[in-house]
Structure 1
Amino acid sequence: MKKRVVAYRKLPAAALRILEAACDVTFADADAQRDAFLAALAGAHGTIGNKLKLTRDLLDAAPNLEVVSTISAGYDDFDVPELTRRGIVLCNTPDEVTETTADLMFALILAAARRIAELDASTRRGEWQASSGPAQFGVDVHHKTLGIVGLGRIGAAVARRAAHGFGMNVLYANRSRNPAAEEAFGAQWRTLPALLAEADFVCILVPLSPATEKLIGAAELRLMKSSAILVNCARGQIVDEAALIEALREGRILGAGLDVFEREPLAADSPLLTLPNVVIVPHIGSATAQTREAMARRAAQNLADALQGQLSETCVNPAAVDARALP
């Protein structure tokens, strides 16, 4: 008999075909069809979707659950130790987002440095009346120093673009050294305070955890150059938003490029929306049609495989399999 799966977000046809070949699939939107979702969850062996906090109450309502497959690289919506304790495998999609998110990171670097959004708006208002001068000046990106906080898959893709495409000096702060990046991109390890003090552009790419929440606060922002730009494509909670707003208002850093925020969607009255030296986009790190479909296909394959006992490198907590066997 096929295992039962509940998809709580709509899936592309290609991903759905993967699941339907191996499982009985029920679709129920976790927000818009809450009662149907809870009913399906009660008998489900697996779930697939994203942007749902799988609370203990929901886990209690799913006594047969074996595998959770998230269509995302990040998995901070999940209590991984609790899933492991219950013998529930968690899978994610880290590889599919790498290049697309690195593209966005560099787009934000360039947009903030050259004031693209600000000057686009000015031009649309009819304020272009003469040749560009100091009022339109930005800063160079090429041959500057890029500091990457969290040199994982995406960080390495950003480092490659920086070193090989823009001739930048690459610094990184990590819990451990990355010899491959040091050799391939000339990346140099620094402590976080040293990186913040040296870098012209600071890119935040660490995962959210209790250790990284508000990793960049008022004290860290004070270490940055007044000519530096902060770019965050990780999670909004890693940066103290109030401290960032204050630093931007006071000109203690030059600007910021933000894809993520402490609360999402960003409130209409957020002070960030009033600051001309900030480029803001609505959490679009992986938002291309090709990447989102690839993520969904990978998540579907992860789920189908894991329900058959085949775990790939995308399994976040392989120890869950052992925990499942315990009395």
Structure 2
Amino acid sequence: MLVALTDPIDPAGMAILHRAGHEVALPGAEGLEALLTRAEAVVVRRKLPDDLSARAPRLLAAVRQGVGVDMIPVENCTAHGVLVANVPGANADSVAEFAIGQMLAIARRVDTMHAELLAKGWATARARSDQAFELRGRTLGIVGMGAIGTRLAEITRDGFRMRVLGHRRGMNAMPAGVERADLDALFAESDFIALACPLTPETRGLASAARIGRMKPTAWLLNVARGPVVDGPALVESLRAGRIGGAALDVYDEQPLAADHPLRDLPNVILTPHAAGLSSEAVERMSTGAAEEVVRILAGGRPRSFINPKAWEASRARRAALGHPRMEATA
């Protein structure tokens, strides 16, 4: 069958797809939409059309090479029998370590000292150490206690002896050493706030103007989740006014970040291009995990990380209509 890739994947993932006998293709001059009209599966690293099923009449599987499935129109897929899967935890270490790097750079003024050492000299740069501080004893608030949030909590709690506050949907127990906190308290008490939650209707705008207004004047907001989790204009206003310490942002409402975006002109921000989960190790794990899910689904099996299990029966009917072998009747 034909597996469409929205973007290149690691060679290890390609090898898995080829060993299973599938054709693999990237968008060429024809573009992604033309490729989707012929594909039985798609490995996803960019936003797919909201009416995906109408544009991809042969599609059986949409597999996210990563965690967040906001790039896939899950409801549309469910209604038309397209199975959706992701690869949870594959980039947890990478994203957690990235957030640690952001906090260390902030605490020790690394970017400022680097720029001033080059532009103004040794003495001026060294003077910035007067503003440096240790992470030990500081409070980190984590919104989203999935694989990424849990790993970040473990590193900061055990490695840096930070106080860790956590917020998650539902009442599942927090990891050991993490204090459960409601969002208002978490924003008010934390020295660093790390957003590591999925983008859902409930989390859109979660870091609202009111909650940003609760932050300490020295606190930093770290977003390794999705841009729309933050009220962008409210954040820019607070940064411009110096009402919070700053923001380290890896994701944005619209990507790539526009050349004239106001964030580019602010001194109290660290901007990176949605790269937190893109270490070489994480890319290989995400690629192989996504490829394995594609092979499993196209062979008639249920995905291990099944986002829309309600689509199972409709998917069996879709396969039959397309002339593919019958799927497994049970998990």
CA distance in 2, matches of 1:178, 1:225: 28
Aligned with 1:321 (options 304, 309, 312): 312
1:1-327 pair list within 5 angstroms: 3-29=1-27, 32-35=28-31, 37-56=32-51, 58-129=52-123, 132-133=126-127, 136-181=130-175, 184=176, 186-325=177-316
8 Å Cα contact 1:112/1:278 also seen in 2: no
8 Å Cα contact 1:111/1:279 also seen in 2: no
Paired positions, count? 318
CA distance in 2, matches of 1:51, 1:240: 22
8 Å Cα contact 1:147/1:203 also seen in 2: yes
Check 1:11–1:227 CA distance in 2 against 1; reply closer, same or farther (3 A cut). closer
Unaligned runs of 5+ in 2: 319-331
Deviations 1:268-327 (A, max 9, x none): 222222222211111111111221122111111110011112224322112211233469
CA distance in 2, matches of 1:105, 1:154: 10
Percent of pairs with identical residues: 33
CA distance in 1, matches of 2:80, 2:162: 47
Deviations 1:121-166 (A, max 9, x none): 1111133335834675133311111111111110000000111001
8 Å Cα contact 2:108/2:129 also seen in 1: no
8 Å Cα contact 1:23/1:304 also seen in 2: no
Check 1:47–1:144 CA distance in 2 against 1; reply closer, same or farther (3 A cut). same
Q: Give 1:38 shift.
A: 4.1
TM-score (norm. length: structure 2): 0.90
Q: Give 1:108 shift.
A: 1.1
Amino acid at match of 1:19: L
Amino acid at match of 1:18: I
CA RMSD of aligned residues (A): 2.0
8 Å Cα contact 1:259/1:284 also seen in 2: yes
Amino acid at match of 1:54: P
8 Å Cα contact 1:113/1:229 also seen in 2: no
Amino acid at match of 2:287: A
3-state SS of 2:193 partner: strand
Unaligned runs of 5+ in 1: none
Amino acid at match of 2:41: G
TM-score (norm. length: structure 1): 0.91
Q: Give 1:65 shift.
A: 1.1
CA distance in 2, matches of 1:228, 1:95: 28
8 Å Cα contact 1:248/1:277 also seen in 2: yes
8 Å Cα contact 2:4/2:25 also seen in 1: yes
